[in-house]
Amino acid sequence: MRTVQLSQLSVNAEAEVQDLAGPPQFRNRLFSLGITPRSRLVLVRRMPLGGPLEIEVRGTRLAIRRHDADRVWVCVVG
């Protein structure tokens, strides 16, 4: 069980969210988008040129900026 930042996850890896850092607004937004502790997500792809990451969480696809993804701590499963 390795805990890493979401931005460090490799493509197609599935992970479970451990903890969310950052200001309340940010965490609250993540909650309403379905990114809560213990939720499962998959890193679908990284956009070129250091752009956002595409993730799949609770059946929807989201793009999240890398530096925002730094604040999401996940642990790789499987």
Q: Is 10 in the site for another protein (CB under 8 A)?
A: no
Binds another protein by CB under 8 A, chosen from 1, 12, 48, 78: 48
Distant-in-sequence, close-in-space partners of 25: CB < 8 Å, separation ≥ 6: none
Q: Is 60 in the site for another protein (CB under 8 A)?
A: yes
Which two tokens mark 66?
Answer: 């890398």
Per the CB < 8 A criterion, the answer to whether 71 and 9 are in contact is: no
Which 8-state DSSP code applies to residue 27?
A: H
Q: Is 32 in the site for another protein (CB under 8 A)?
A: yes
- For another protein, the binding residues (CB under 8 A) are 22-34, 36-39, 45, 47-52, 54, 57-65, 68
